[in-house]
Amino acid sequence: MKLPPFDEFIDKLKHFDRKMLSKAFTLNESTLEIHNDLFDSILNALKPVEDQSLVIGITGIPGVGKSTFIESFGSYLHQLGKKIAVFAIDPSSQNTQGSILGDKTRMEQLSRLPNVFIRPSPSSNQLGGLGLNTHKNIALAKAIGFDIILVETVGVGQSETMVKELCDLFLLLMMPGSGDELQGVKKGIMEMANLLIVHKADGELIEAAEKSKKELEAALHYTRDHSDENAVFLYSSLTQKNADAIWNWIERWILNRKKNLDFYKNRKKQDEFWFDYEWKQLLIKHISETHRDTLNDLQSEITKGNFISRKQIIERILYQSYL
Ligand SMILES: Nc1nc2c(ncn2[C@@H]2O[C@H](COP(=O)(O)OP(=O)(O)O)[C@@H](O)[C@H]2O)c(=O)[nH]1
Ligand SMILES: [Mg+2]
């Protein structure tokens, strides 16, 4: 990878240079340690900024319109003068091919706007199945000075929990339609969401969308405290109807969270979560590299049908470490 001198690199990043942003994120997603080191130096060099960013996680079943929502609502936010970065997180999928193509075409207009940067989900194969350095990409986007960072969950399963650990506000998109359709959303996700949006509230779907909104509000009434009570909106990515109302709600909600310090407490907890995640990942990587032979030996024992106790695994690995 061809890179400019460090200071020039930093300067270009501060000016939202698309090519440089792309290179920087690649350094983070790379499996090469020197790339990761350079990325960390960049992050460190940019670090002491006044962070005004807002990270919004967006989830919902495939086809609910997450990518289209980002294109539509992102364009609305851009009109308000916001600098926007978009990421996708997909820890479960082995083949993200479809989503990359889908995201690219769905976010075409948005991706061309100035001060907007879209990072498609990395192909996990290329990253040895890990490549979950999205939290660091987000840290860089914050440090550079993006105002709004949108994170789309691509896979199903783990990704919602991961995104929850990355965002200040968790938004769930729902299909218009009643009870049965809602079951597509896993239990617990609805409780995790701070804001619910019944999407595709346009054309023939308007009536169904309004009905869903009422049902959701009734359901939430029993599970939520009063501050969250009205957090169900209708939206259409085609008409952008309610974009103002949604954005006003978000601004007020965030302001409240900042006032009562929950916003900052949540970020601190997330930093701790990712530190924990990171050192474990690094340890695994380190051990699989430095103890390849031992691990291979143990594996061939298993293949032969031999029993290996946990204690043996630990002893073999630690014994070798202290040789
Ligand atoms: N009628 C209508 N269709 C939409 C809207 N948003 C997205 N769609 C359609 O829903 C489908 C899935 O959208 P996509 O953004 O790829 O969903 P994702 O899998 O959740 O990212 C596409 O065919 C979109 O054109 C909307 O606001 N109204
Ligand atoms: Mg999508």
Q: pLDDT tens-digit profile of 17-38? A: 999 999 999 999 888 889 999 9
Q: Which atom of ligand 1 is nearest the CA belonging to 205?
A: 1
Q: Which helix (H) or strand (E) holds 88?
A: strand 84-89
Q: Determine phi and psi for 201, rounding to 5 degrees.
A: -80, 75
Domain 49-260: CATH class, spelled out: alpha beta
Q: How far apart are CA 111 and CA 3, in angstroms?
A: 23
Residue-wise pLDDT tens digits, 275-302: 999 999 889 888 998 999 999 999 999 9
> Parallel, antiparallel, or unpaired for β 195-198 and 232-234?
parallel
Distance from the CA of 73 to the center of ligand 1, in angstroms? 13
* pLDDT, tens digit, 9 for 90 and up, residues 252-283: 999 999 999 999 999 999 999 999 999 998 89
Q: What is the DSSP letter of 161?
A: H
State which of 66, 67, 68 you would mutate to test the pocket of ligand 1, scoring each by most atoms of that ligand within 8 A of its C-beta.
Answer: 68
Confirm whether pTM is higher than 0.85.
yes
For 48-69, write each residue's pLDDT tens digit. Answer: 667 889 999 999 988 899 999 9
Cα radius of gyration rounded to whole Å, the chain: 22
Boundaries of every domain in the chain: 49-260, 276-321
- Nearest atom within ligand 1 for CA of residue 61: 20
Structure letter (DSSP) for residue 151: E
